[in-house]
Structure 1
Amino acid sequence: MMPSLFIAHGAPLLAVENNEYTQFLNQLGDSLPRPKAIVLFSAHWESRVQKVSEVDEYDTIYDFGGFDPALYTIKYPAKGSQEISSEIMDLFRANGIPFDIETRRGLDHGAWVVLRLLYPNADVPVIAMSVNPALTPEEQYKVGKSLAALRAKEVLIIGSGGTVHNLRAVNFADNGQVDTWAVEFDDWLAHHLHTWDTNSLFKYDSLAPNAQYAVPPYGNEHFVPIFYAMGAADDNKTAKLLHRSFRYGNLSHSVWQFGE
């Protein structure tokens, strides 16, 4: 059985950096059973109706500006899998999840930065998926849960985002200090993930300390992929924190494994 993962994709610079977090993701790709395919929900692809990619080979999208020019030369030419895309559509139909098919969109940096660190040769088929921040956490969890059967077919399900992601609060000078409010929120989250306390997690915005800073009301799209990934392991309710660190004062680099 393949686990599902939540992976923080951090800033685009991770694609060209060599640090504690990039080294961890390199090692994680080597330590996981090799997947037949990867289904990835990216915070950088928002849609009101669930999108399912059916792409033969992906272009690389540079959905950022003002960074190292080397970033704009990176290509991640992953291929898709019509077989897995079709299975996803069947599962969505069976579970009453509305969806649309996307046949042209490439991989945004929420997808390719993570995938390139895990599987640098772009040799694992990918099915890119959108997220809908307007859904309730329960509904996002249900979307992930509907895909749980894929884990038994060697498909790795990933939610790519960030548990603490407030770009108005980051300190790009990065003096090594971590803001207390970010740690308090992430500690609360870790406790309730470990105990699979969905009743509390689904009300994180009112229950978690500093939730309005960690997941600002103007942008929850980076947080919600965790519910898609968690739902995909509803049949094996276990959560394990594989890595946690912070950059720029409060931007979280966390990796959670759900299921076994």
Structure 2
Amino acid sequence: MTRAVQPALFVSHGSPMILFEPSPARDFLAGLASQVARPDAILMISAHHDMAEAVVTGSPAPPTIHDFGGFPQKLFDVRYPAPGAPALAEEVARLIAEAGHPVFLDPQRGLDHGAWVPLALAWPYADIPIVQLSISSAHPAEWHYRIGQAVAPLRDRNVLIIGSGSLTHNLRAIFAEGRDHDAAVPDWVSDFADWVRARLDAGDTDAVLHAVERGPHGRRNHPTPDHILPLFAAMGAGGAQAERLHHSYTYGVLAMDAYRFGQGPDF
């Protein structure tokens, strides 16, 4: 039997309360498993694993990290007990090292909410091995693109690569303006999301990599780069061919777009 060749994905994970609050983005993530062949393992590149250099999780049983505060107890009670994949973690580290980048294995770190929240919706049985690869806000967009290119061969081995962040991410605008879950979408958010889509549709990799600098209201949408960096890694892993899988907003200022890079199998 031919092994599946996986695409690379970018998903916007939003607030961890997406697990409990109805929304189009929640519905999309809950159906994500139906849009790809079942992977043998998943490599998650989360905005919430931000290190000075590339760090790969090597735990055989990564714990669930509740890296947030101020939410209901039911969210802290959630566990996502997916197995790790130490051998895959070593392979990820090898590929990154061979591409000329410093890389480190962390045998203890668990899964942060940028990983387990979307995974709990898409694969709720937690039966697919998970490895996390860090972003690095200390490095530019191009570094993340090259890291994605380095791990791209894993797609041929039925490893699904997912960048998990947010297409727009200005939390101050949520809290300072008291926005509710279904707040209106301001132009400065929709203009940026539309610009990114147009550049991705055109295959303009350079423009996308500089979206924060060149896109409309880029720095307002990303006061810090962490939540857009997984997009660049997914783009590097999957190639310039992009397909938007989902588009919606929560709290008015979080664009919950999801993209597929590269073609997966027909099934």
Place the TM-score, normalised by the shorter chain, in its bin.
over 0.9
For the aligned residues, what is the CA RMSD? Answer: 1.2
Could you tell me whether the CA contact under 8 Å between 1:41 and 1:225 is conserved in 2?
Answer: yes
For 1:68, the equivalent position in structure 2 comes to 72
For 1:224, the equivalent position in structure 2 comes to 229
Match of 1:252 among 249, 252, 255: 255
> What are the ranges of 5 or more consecutive residues in structure 1 without an aligned counterpart?
none
The reply on whether 1:93 has 2:100 as its aligned counterpart is no
Count of aligned pairs between the two proteins: 256
Runs of 4+ in structure 1 off by over 3 angstroms are: none
Match of 2:192 among 185, 188, 212: 185
TM-score (structure 2 length as normaliser): 0.93
For 1:77, the equivalent position in structure 2 comes to 81
Could you tell me whether the CA contact under 8 Å between 2:93 and 2:104 is conserved in 1?
Answer: no
> 2:144 is aligned with what amino acid?
Q
SS at match of 2:171: coil
Could you tell me whether the CA contact under 8 Å between 1:29 and 1:117 is conserved in 2?
Answer: no
Match of 1:173 among 177, 180, 184: 180
For 1:215, the equivalent position in structure 2 comes to 222
Match of 2:49 among 21, 45, 51: 45
> 1:203 is aligned with what amino acid?
H
Could you tell me whether the CA contact under 8 Å between 1:4 and 1:232 is conserved in 2?
Answer: yes
Deviation per CA, 1:75-129, whole angstroms, max 9, x where unpaired? 0011111221122122112211210110111111111001101100000000011
Match of 2:245 among 242, 245, 248: 242
SS at match of 1:196: coil
Deviation per CA, 1:148-185, whole angstroms, max 9, x where unpaired? 11001000001110010001112432444111110000
Post-superposition shift, 1:143? 0.3
> 1:253 is aligned with what amino acid?
M
SS at match of 1:65: coil
Distance 2:63 2:212 in 1: 36
Match of 1:133 among 137, 148, 151: 137
> 1:173 is aligned with what amino acid?
D
Could you tell me whether the CA contact under 8 Å between 2:84 and 2:130 is conserved in 1?
Answer: yes
For 2:153, the equivalent position in structure 1 comes to 149
SS at match of 2:44: strand
SS at match of 1:164: coil
Distance 2:140 2:255 in 1: 23
Distance 2:192 2:38 in 1: 33
Moved more, 127-136 or 173-182: 173-182
For 1:204, the equivalent position in structure 2 comes to 211
Distance 2:42 2:76 in 1: 24
Match of 1:105 among 105, 109, 118: 109
SS at match of 2:128: coil
> 1:94 is aligned with what amino acid?
E
The reply on whether 1:18 has 2:22 as its aligned counterpart is yes
Post-superposition shift, 1:220? 1.1
Deviation per CA, 1:201-242, whole angstroms, max 9, x where unpaired? 2222331111121111xx1101111001100013xx310000
Distance 1:8 1:112 in 2: 13
Distance 1:177 1:95, change over 3 A: same
TM-score (structure 1 length as normaliser): 0.95
Could you tell me whether the CA contact under 8 Å between 2:43 and 2:159 is conserved in 1?
Answer: yes
